[in-house]
Amino acid sequence: MDRETLLALLEKNKGAKIIDIDEWGVLDNSPEAIKRLEDFKQKFLRRECFPPGMEHWMPDEYKDLPPKD
């Protein structure tokens, strides 16, 4: 996240006191953030986030779900 992104967020949300952002520097509740999270969730469910052999890192609640595709 860079200086310009943060300054733009502050300008756009002037007076907000607290501006919540996600890992990519966009507002937590923006359509972009929601889409990124949804994409990430799908990749997560397809085990694409884990290097081969490291699937055991997956949290228990997801382990019983069949891999998509």
* Nearest distance in Å: CB 40, other proteins: 12
Q: How far apart are CA 20 and CA 29, in angstroms?
A: 8
Q: Residue 14, interface with other proteins (CB under 8 A)?
A: yes
According to CB under 8 A, which one of 3, 56, 61, 67 is a site residue for other proteins? 3
Number of residues that bind other proteins (CB under 8 A): 18
CA 14 to each of CA 17, 24, 25, 27, 44: distance values in angstroms, whole numbers, following the listed order: 8, 20, 16, 13, 35
Interface residues toward other proteins, by CB under 8 A: 2-3, 6-7, 9-10, 13-23, 28
